[in-house]
Amino acid sequence: MSTASPADHPSAAAHSARVAGVWAPESLGEVLGRVRSGASTPELEAAAALGRADAYGRPAAEGQGTSLEPAESFDPVWIDRLDAAAVAAGAAQSSAGGAHLPLTGVPVAIKGNIDVAGLPTTAACPSFADGPAAVHATAVQRLADAGAVIVGTTNLDQFATGLNGTRSPYGAPHAAGLPGHVSGGSSSGSAVAVARGDVPLALGTDTAGSGRVPAALNGIVGLKPSKGLVSTAGVLPACRSLDVVSVFAADVDSAALALTVLAGPDPADAWSRTADGFTAPEGLGALPPRLGAGRALRLGVPAALPEGTRIDPEAAAAWEAALAVATELAGEVELVPVDLEPFFEAGSMLYGSAFVAERYASVGTFIEQAFATDPGDTALDPTVRDLVLAGASPSAATLFDDLDRIRVLSAGAHATLATVDALLTPTVLEHPTHEELAADPVGANARLGLFTTFGNLLDLAVLALPAARRCDGLPFGVSFHAPAFQEARVLELGARFEAAVRDSGAPVGTGDVSEPTLLRPAGAPPATDAEGRLLLAVGGAHMAGLPLNHELTGAGGEYLRLTRTSPDYVLHVLDTPLGPRPGIERVGRESPATASTGGLGVEVELWALPSEALGSFVHRVPPHLALGPITLLDGSTAIGFLGAASDEVTSSRLVPSWRHFARGL
């Protein structure tokens, strides 16, 4: 398989623009739309991804121990890539799965502390791996089983210890399009690989904010699921009791789709858990609609920052603009100042208490032996070494004192969360340069984690996503925080925020610093597109690549994007005289039926249909369906086909998506 990006591949023009400095990562919906429509194939997508990555240089591991080539020949974003034959084999497997698979043809990058079969799991320490991994980590295998094509492993702060992206012997990636600025870490390479367009999806890990800080500094989405929701089997632990596998993507819809593939119990992971037994905090009701009447949406916002906190003036202005966007997330929004002192104190304990002993338990013995064997080994990052080895000192009594303290802080934090629908914060308050980070490596790293280090200690679900850029052109991001297993809540709020920023016309991500960042008021999500076509949400056999899609394209329909309904919809498999048919029904967020989707709504595609063609298209729809409004994840409304069981039609079961049913699951 050629590793050159085909000149006529649908992504080629977009990538040329990215290389020229206009950074716009692709969503999963864009890639899947090409593959499912026949405009591309998994083989083409995989070859194009390898070509895009190759354009920046060879993987950094190939430059270890050689002085024959300049450092510029090697790309610090990637540690290793699978060879072309292995990627081709993955693409062929994806093609064989067909359009029914949820991630057919999607190229994926994997953080270098997660096992990828055939590649060494170095965790950014070349001497740590004793050979290639024999099998994929569970999360990687779930992606491959869903049709994704694994490309390779990405760089990270060594042993996932850091939030800045500079603590690696493989080099320090810079933020996408911003050579002077750090990428954030520890999942540095995964974030940059998505942000600069190498791949549309990447896995990271998150213990202190490693899946959120790089998302903010690169202008993309980072989802930190609840602990145990995604298996960590096959992941080298930083702190096993706190680690999660995280997701990097271009938009919220993509992150939500990835989570539906990744989430689920795993008997190979002793820390795996489900929402069973976890109840939503008392008073945590359904979100009010984005538009129209209803109770006020209550968003907690920081009442104050710790004394001495450094905040860039540009970040402060961007935060005020983000708060203005937040007022567009419902018909009425209350921004509720809350005391975050319990959150901040909890976050400070991740490195400033006996909890650091868990890092020592993971890799401390290896570091001690490696340092004793070769004290001058430059592949061992000295800051990481000192942080990890400090974990050998705390006593068991100190650890139990700290466990008690975190329990008290958690109770206070969750009491605060019970008074609001979610907590909204900046993700980071500054965007340091490499020089600033080098001048104060520990202090700058700690500042990057102010709003992230408490997330896993307090057992939260968190979504980080872009807001409008700062006035100096640098990316700025916000985070929605909610109690464990409230992923649907943070994804829905994030989708609404994303739509409001999009409606405002403000630029996000990274790009030309001369572009304006002024916001204009967000308008109501349109029922039609700019050309006056109807927006149609389809969730059954009319989706791209499925048997009845030709009826939609034949009526002049144009695919727009892949998204989801709001979390209060379910999808029935209806037994009809014509055979099994889909039926989307709105059942309410408190219904037990929503568990069939993991509480994440129903996968749908948004199509634009000429209004004059609606009649001929509707004529083909079976009688058990009815045309009606469907609320999407971002709060907007589209026309869709609703159906539910009746005296004549029975529901045989509920499924997360029609593709799930179509592939026999």
Residue 218 exposure: Cα atoms within 13 Å on the Cβ side = 37
Q: Which residues contact 42 (CB under 8 A, 6 or more apart)?
A: 35, 91, 92, 94, 95, 104, 105, 147, 149
Q: Would you say residue 299 has pLDDT above 70? A: yes
Q: Which residues contact 501 (CB under 8 A, 6 or more apart)?
A: 325, 466, 467, 468, 508, 522
Bridge pairing between strands 107-111 and 201-206: parallel
Q: Would you say residue 79 has pLDDT above 60? A: yes
Lookup: tokens for 28: 């999963």
Assess whether the region 12-262 and the region 297-353+396-504 belong to the same CATH fold: yes
pLDDT score of 662: 86
pLDDT score of 591: 80
Does residue 433 contact residue 175 with C-beta atoms inside 8 Å? no
pLDDT tens digits for range 303-351: 999 988 989 899 999 999 999 999 999 989 999 999 999 999 999 999 9
pLDDT tens digits for range 108-133: 999 999 999 999 999 999 999 989 99
Q: C-alpha distances in angstroms, 636 versus 468, 571, 606?
A: 20, 19, 11
Q: Would you say residue 87 has pLDDT above 70? A: yes
CATH superfamily, domain at 534-662:
Gamma-glutamyl cyclotransferase-like (3.10.490.10)
pLDDT tens digits for range 50-76: 999 999 999 999 987 665 666 778 999
Q: Would you say residue 539 has pLDDT above 80? A: yes
Average pLDDT over residues 259-270: 97
Q: How many helices, marked H, and strands, marked E, lie in the chain?
A: 20, 23
pLDDT tens digits for range 445-466: 999 999 999 999 999 999 999 9
Min mean pLDDT across 288-292, 390-394, 431-435, 497-501 is at 288-292
Give CA–CA dist 392/377, Å, rounded.
21
Edge to edge, the sheet with strand 477-483 lists 78-81, 149-154, 107-111, 201-206, 244-249, 221-224, 460-466, 477-483, 422-426, 297-302, 333-338
Catalytic residues: 111, 186, 210
Phi first, then psi: give them for residue 530, nearest 5 degrees.
-65, -20
pLDDT score of 282: 59
Q: Which residues contact 334 (CB under 8 A, 6 or more apart)?
A: 296, 297, 298, 299
pLDDT score of 22: 44
As a whole number, the mean pLDDT across the chain is 90
Question: SS3 for 299?
Answer: strand
Query: What is the distance in angstroms between the CA of the first residue and the CA of the last residue of the chain?
Result: 32
Does residue 297 contact residue 262 with C-beta atoms inside 8 Å? no
State the pLDDT confidence band at 510, using cuts at 50, 70 and 90: low
Overall fold of domain 297-353+396-504 = Amidase signature (AS) enzymes (3.90.1300)
pLDDT tens digits for range 581-617: 899 999 877 788 887 667 899 999 999 999 888 877 7
Residues 16-19: contacts with CB within 8 Å, 24+ apart? 18/196, 18/197, 19/55
Average pLDDT over residues 2-31: 61
pTM of the model: 0.93
pLDDT score of 302: 97
Overall fold of domain 12-262 = Amidase signature (AS) enzymes (3.90.1300)
Q: Where are the beta strands (DSSP E) in 467-509?
A: 477-483
Q: Would you say residue 434 has pLDDT above 80? A: yes
Q: Where are the beta strands (DSSP E) in 135-212?
A: 149-154, 174-175, 178-182, 201-206
DSSP state of 133: B
Give CA–CA dist 252/249, Å, rounded.
7
pLDDT score of 615: 79
Rg of the Cα trace of the chain? 24
Min mean pLDDT across 160-169, 396-405, 515-524, 643-652 is at 515-524
Q: Which residues contact 342 (CB under 8 A, 6 or more apart)?
A: 409, 410, 412, 413, 416
Q: Would you say residue 201 has pLDDT above 80? A: yes
pLDDT score of 625: 79
pLDDT greater at residue 592 or residue 556: 556
pLDDT score of 9: 60
Domain range summary for the chain, segments of one domain joined by +: 12-262, 297-353+396-504, 361-393, 534-662
Q: C-alpha distances in angstroms, 308 versus 43, 305, 440, 448, 665?
A: 53, 8, 16, 14, 55
State the pLDDT confidence band at 182, using cuts at 50, 70 and 90: very high
Q: Would you say residue 14 has pLDDT above 70? A: no
